[in-house]
Amino acid sequence: MKRSETRLQPILGLFDATAIGIGAIIGGGIFVVTGIVAGLAGPALIVSILIAAAIAALTALSLAELTSWLPVEGSVYEYAHRLVSPSAGFLTGWMWIVSNTFAGAAVSLGFAYYFSSLFLGVQPKLIAVAICIAFTALNYAGVRQSTALNNILVSAKIVILMVFVSSGLFHIQSGNFTPFIPSELGVLYGTFFIFFAYGGFARVAVVAEEVKDAKRVVPRAMILSLAISSVIYLLVGAVAVGLIGAGNLGRSNSPLVDAIKIVGSPVLVYVISFGGMIATASVLLTSILGVSRVAYAMARRKDLPSVLSKLHPKHNTPHFSILMVGGIMTMLALLVDLSAVVAVSTFAQLFYYGSANASAIRMKSGARLYPRFLSVIGLGTCALLMAFVSPSALTIGVICLAFGAAYYYAVRQKVSRI
Q: How confident is the model over 313-340, as pLDDT tens digits?
A: 776 778 888 888 888 888 888 877 767 7
Q: Give 180's contacts (C-beta < 8 A, 6+ positions apart).
A: 42, 43, 44
Q: How confident is the model over 360-405, as pLDDT tens digits?
A: 999 988 778 788 999 999 999 999 988 888 888 889 889 999 999 9
User: How far from 306 is each of 150, 298, 303, 310, CA to CA, in Å?
Assistant: 29, 9, 8, 7
- The CATH homologous superfamily for domain 16-417 is Amino acid/polyamine transporter I (1.20.1740.10)
pLDDT at 48 over 50: yes
Q: Give 272's contacts (C-beta < 8 A, 6+ positions apart).
A: 160, 163, 164, 256, 257, 260
The DSSP symbol for 44 reads G
Residues 356 and 206: beta-carbon distance below 8 Å: no
The confidence score (pLDDT) of residue 1 equals 38
Residues 241 and 43: beta-carbon distance below 8 Å: yes
DSSP H or E run through 59: helix 45-69
Reported confidence tier of residue 145, pLDDT bands at 50, 70, 90: low
Per-domain residue ranges of the chain: 16-417
The confidence score (pLDDT) of residue 73 equals 64
pTM assigned to the model: 0.78
Q: Read off the amino acid at residue 212.
A: K
Structure-derived torsion over alpha carbons of residues 263, 264, 267, 269, reported in degrees to the nearest 10 = 70
Q: How confident is the model over 78-137, as pLDDT tens digits?
A: 899 899 999 999 999 899 888 888 888 888 888 888 888 788 888 888 999 998 898 888
The confidence score (pLDDT) of residue 5 equals 43
pLDDT at 74 over 70: no
Q: ω before 10 within 30° of 0 (cis)?
A: no
